[in-house]
Amino acid sequence: MPMSLSTIIECSAGRRRGRDSQDNLMKPIFVQLQCAPGKTYEVADVIYQTELVSELYSTSGDYDLLLKVYVKDEQDIGKFINDNIANIPGIVRSLTTLTFRAF
């Protein structure tokens, strides 16, 4: 089930307010997307409308967009990406980077 942007923002510090249980931990992942020629802005608009990402950038290089997404610690990341991002029309290729620690 997709998370709303308000839930992502509320959880972005790693825990929901007032709760300290392990199952509420959130982890950031980064997703780079390569779009079909001329489709980058359309893909970005669709992603923005889903309210699933906390940050969305256009980039230079092999990939056109960079997304920062917070997912629950126990969530299947591959399924989340496939169900919510990779199936958007106009995306040719994706690269997901998992994070371990913020410095």
At 39-49, the pLDDT tens digits run 999 999 999 99
- pLDDT confidence of residue 55: 97
Tell me, which fold does domain 5-16+27-98 have in CATH? Alpha-Beta Plaits (3.30.70)
- Residue 100: which residues within 8 A CB-CB, separation 6 or more? none
**Given this model, what pLDDT does residue 101 score?**
83
Give this prediction's pTM. Answer: 0.74
- pLDDT at residue 25, as a whole number: 85
Question: What is the structure's pLDDT at 15?
Answer: 38
- How much is the pLDDT for 60? 96
SS3 21: coil
For the chain, which residues make up each domain, given as ranges? 5-16+27-98
Spans in the chain with pLDDT lower than 50: 1, 3-23
